[in-house]
Amino acid sequence: MAAEAADIAEADKTTVTVLIYHRFGEDKYPTTNIAVERFREQLEYLKNNEYTVITLQQLLQFLQGEIKLPERSVVITIDDGYRSVYENAWPVLREYGYPFTVFLYVKATENRHWNYMTWDQVMELKAAGVDFQNHGFSHEHMAFMPAGMNMNEYRAWIRAELEVSTRIFSEKLQEQPLFFAVPYGEYNMTLLEEIRVSGYEGILLQDPGSVSKDTDPFAIPREPILGTDWSTMEHFQMVLERVDLPIARETPPAGKLSNVMPERFGAQLLYPERYIPGTLGIYVSELGWRRVTMQDDFASISNTSTLSRRINRVAISGREKESGRTAIRYWMLVGE
């Protein structure tokens, strides 16, 4: 029984980093690109530092409590399905033998857009064991209700987007997608609910952060590896070292903002005893970092500023006593 308890305690602290890439070796698109040489360097780093690259399905099994994972686990995901995945990323990934998932922008592939993989290329990779999942049909900003729509019409619009992308995906790949990556990483609670009830088993965001047993399978964070700064080895190594900071609830709640001048930003910590006193802080895109005040297990900052951005990300961060690692949890606030 003691050994079993120790195993459970160890599993409780398992952290998984889900990486997200877009383009490979496409210098004309610097904000979403990574150089192929840098990508190879990152895979070599994973290999040399004893990271285990797992599948997205294994991550879901972990979140559902079905399996345990090695402490240094990583999932590789790629959004959109650009042609450079086939031409530049796939040869490198095949060389290292790492599993990965591509989220397809279905309309681009279906309409044979020149810069995206064809269905023949998708099927070639699928036959080689590559996992494909859904990234939507039109790649719309689905977290924002189109002008002139009411809530019922908005929900119907989301369902139609999901239906057409899921149908085409299933017809072409002869399997039902299990995961959905929200376009642009933008979401609200209505969108996430509609994706969940349509039959998907997991939703992937673009909020930075790591995954723990306390992560909601329908709000999985991913670490973007792209652009000039976020594709560097320094940034890559930094995100691999971060761990999740589990929370019970956040204020304001993720999704649509009901008040553009929230009185407080904060979160109820599931494990407040884990963190070194004085290291906890909260970040808001428009406000920067501020040190929190604690009331029991609730960490927060006060606010007197009006939020004007369409999208704000909020994060709570602290340093773990035991490991010394940075723990962080993000959520998104959506304005008008």
Task: Provide the 3-class DSSP secondary structure of residue 60.
Answer: helix
What pLDDT is attached to residue 12? 62
For the chain, 336 residues long, the average pLDDT of each consecutive 10-residue run is 37 86 97 98 98 99 97 97 98 98 97 94 98 96 95 98 97 98 97 98 98 98 97 98 98 95 97 97 97 97 96 98 97 93
Kindly tell me the sign of the dihedral angle through the C-alpha atoms of 145, 150, 152, 153.
negative
Q: Which stretches does DSSP call E strand in 240-287?
A: 243-244, 247-251, 255-256, 264-269, 281-284
What pLDDT is attached to residue 112? 87
Its pTM surpasses 0.75: yes
What pLDDT is attached to residue 336? 76
What pLDDT is attached to residue 242? 97
Beta carbons of 49 and 237 less than 8 angstroms apart? no
Six token digits for residue 309 = 């951005």
Q: What does the alpha-carbon distance between residue 243 and residue 324 come to, in Å, rounded to a whole number?
A: 10
CATH 3.90.190.10 fits 247-334, yes or no: no
What are the residue boundaries of the structural domains of the chain, listed by start? 2-244, 247-334
Six token digits for residue 120 = 């023949």
What element of type H or E holds 57?
Answer: helix 56-63
CATH 3.20.20.370 fits 2-244, yes or no: yes
Cα–Cα separations (whole angstroms), residue 89 to 40, 116, 198, 271: 9, 13, 31, 39
Question: What are the residues whose beta carbons fall under 8 Å from the beta carbon of 248, sequence distance 6 or more?
Answer: 267, 268, 269, 270, 297
pLDDT, tens digit (0-9, with 9 covering 90-100), for 283-327: 999 999 999 999 999 999 999 999 999 999 999 999 999 999 999
Q: In which region does residue 26 sit, left (phi positive, over 0), alpha (psi from -120 to 50) or beta (all else)?
A: beta
